[in-house]
Structure 1
Amino acid sequence: MDLGLTGKVAIITGSSKGIGLHTALQLVKEGANVTICARGEKSLKEAAAFIKTETGVEVLVVPADITNEEQCTNIIQKTVDHYGRLDILINNAGTSSANPFESVDTALWQTDLDLKLFGAIHTSKAAIPFMREVGGGAIVNVTAVLGKTPPASSLPTTVSRAAGMALTKAMSKDLGKDNIRVNTVCIGLIRSEQIEKKWKNEAADLSWDEYSKNVVGPTIPLQRIGDTSEAANIITFLVSDAASYVTGTSVNIDGGSGAVL
């Protein structure tokens, strides 16, 4: 299937590793021009080198802290200056911060919301005028399935992710008239550095497949931890022409573990 991504221009925040990096790789393979951004310049350059090794294509590298509105605007402007247009924005930057309610102080609430909610707000606000110029676009906000059904001791992450879902729905209503689609993917257990550290600390004698299937798998209907490429494939679909009538929705990428649709 031709996804219609050839020549499209995409920005992915938090793309020096994990889901962001593999989404960038997948978009490049589909013919898109891509900007990757994250706070660490060294890790970004390593990510760009990895993509070039895999595809032969160079991506634009823009180090940035998306908790800073000015730097968010700079990501968008540098991308348009370099490629001449903007079609796709994937708000992927974020970390996991899970604590009991009473232990979360004001500074941590603010830091989490600045990164996961206001980062997406600032980048989207700067990107939308350029999307309008080319007749439309696609935005994907990466959130978490636990934002739909927050368990105990999951703050502030689940609250900021739930806010990201509400932001997605509201934006889709406002921007549909401009042919700008806005969706969210709700991530469950996907292979990451954090999960790999847990595997090595808890069960270093097991292979990754054994740990994924036998230790964690029984709690997940598909009986394993998801791979980053599987999340990247869904995100790539949502920003492509193949999803041209999909907006304002959430897609769980969780192996069926979520309690709600």
Structure 2
Amino acid sequence: MDLQLTGKRALVTGSTSGIGEAIALTLAAEGTSVIIHGRNEAGAERVAEAIRTNGGTATIVLGDLSDTATVGSVADRAMAAFGGSIDILVNNAGSLESKPWFYSTPADWVDNYARTIGPMVQLILACVPGMKQAGWGRVIAISSGLASSPQTVTAAYAATKAAELNLSVSLAKELARTGVTSNAVSPGTIWTSGLERDFRAIALQLGWPDDASQWPALFGAEDGPFAVPSGRVGWPADVADLVTFLASPRSGYINGANLRVDGGYVPTVN
């Protein structure tokens, strides 16, 4: 299937590793010019070089999105990179903070919201007007299964992810009949290098083989810690493939949706 993405321009925040990296690489493989964003220059260079080596087009914009002034600079530099505007905005950047309910302060909740929702809104306000003027665009929020099925140890983080779903729907309504769509993607447990580091102790405690390539299936098995109906935890490519389709002209009738990529783990109908 031709996704008709050749010549489109995308900003993927937090794309120096993990899910964001996979999204950037997959978009580029479909012909999209991609702006790699993050705080790690070496990681950004590595992803950009991988794209260029495969014949794609990539540029780098570094910046910490927790700083309001920096967000504005990231938006300006990203839009200038490929001719003054972008067609696709993937709001992926974020960090998972685990604190039990009664160990989280009100300041923790406010800080989580400010670091997650604030930059997302600021980038939308900066980038979407150009999409509206062009009559076409895609805004995609990378949320989480925790938005629909929160856990006590990630309460503040999960609440911000639920806000991302709400934001995506209200934005879709605001952009009605403009040619610009807004959707959210909610990954479940995705096997990134960071997750492997975090769960190594659990795997070794359970007496699993030292070969980490076997762990995704063991974690997702019926008697595993996650018991994913699909029989494994996810790979970054599972998310990237869906995001790339949503970013394409082929997805024009999907709007204001939350699409889960979790192997059936979250027990809800949406």
1:99-149: CA deviations, max 9, x gaps?
A: 222211244223321222111111111011111221120000000011112
Q: Is the 8 A contact 2:172 2:182 kept in 1?
A: yes
SS in 1 for 2:15: coil
1:149 and 2:149 matched: yes
SS in 1 for 2:34: strand
1:207 and 2:215 matched: no
1-structure distance, mates of 2:51, 2:8: 17
Q: Is the 8 A contact 1:93 1:115 kept in 2?
A: no
Which letter does structure 2 place at the counterpart of 1:236?
T
1-structure distance, mates of 2:174, 2:231: 39
2-structure distance, mates of 1:201, 1:52: 37
Q: Rate the CA distance shift 1:202–1:102 in 2: closer, same or farther, 3 A.
A: closer
Q: Which residue pairs with 1:2 in the alignment?
A: 2
Q: Which residue pairs with 1:216 in the alignment?
A: 220
Which letter does structure 2 place at the counterpart of 1:78?
R
2-structure distance, mates of 1:70, 1:196: 34
Deviation at 1:69, TM superposition (A): 2.8
- 1:48-87 pair list within 5 angstroms: 48-53=48-53, 55-84=54-83, 85-87=85-87
1-structure distance, mates of 2:252, 2:81: 26
Q: Which residue pairs with 2:191 in the alignment?
A: 191
Q: Which residue pairs with 1:251 in the alignment?
A: 259
2-structure distance, mates of 1:170, 1:43: 34
2-structure distance, mates of 1:233, 1:115: 27
- 1:49-128 pair list within 5 angstroms: 49-53=49-53, 55-84=54-83, 85-128=85-128
2-structure distance, mates of 1:66, 1:130: 21
2-structure distance, mates of 1:176, 1:77: 25
Which letter does structure 2 place at the counterpart of 1:154?
T
Aligned residues: 260
1:36-87: CA deviations, max 9, x gaps?
A: 111222321222223223x133411000112223322222322332211311
SS in 2 for 1:79: helix
1-structure distance, mates of 2:64, 2:86: 20
SS in 1 for 2:221: helix
1-structure distance, mates of 2:132, 2:263: 35
Q: Which moved further from structure 2: 168-177 or 150-159?
A: 150-159
Q: Which residue pairs with 1:12 in the alignment?
A: 12
Gaps of at least 5 residues in structure 1 are none
Which letter does structure 2 place at the counterpart of 1:73?
G
Q: Is the 8 A contact 1:5 1:30 kept in 2?
A: yes
Deviation at 1:209, TM superposition (A): 4.1
Gaps of at least 5 residues in structure 2 are none
Q: Give the TM-score, by structure 1 length.
A: 0.94
2-structure distance, mates of 1:31, 1:189: 28
2-structure distance, mates of 1:49, 1:244: 31
Q: Give the TM-score, by structure 2 length.
A: 0.91
Q: Is the 8 A contact 1:147 1:159 kept in 2?
A: yes
SS in 1 for 2:4: coil
Q: Which moved further from structure 2: 237-246 or 108-117?
A: 108-117
Deviation at 1:244, TM superposition (A): 0.8
Deviation at 1:177, TM superposition (A): 2.6
Q: Is the 8 A contact 1:72 1:126 kept in 2?
A: no
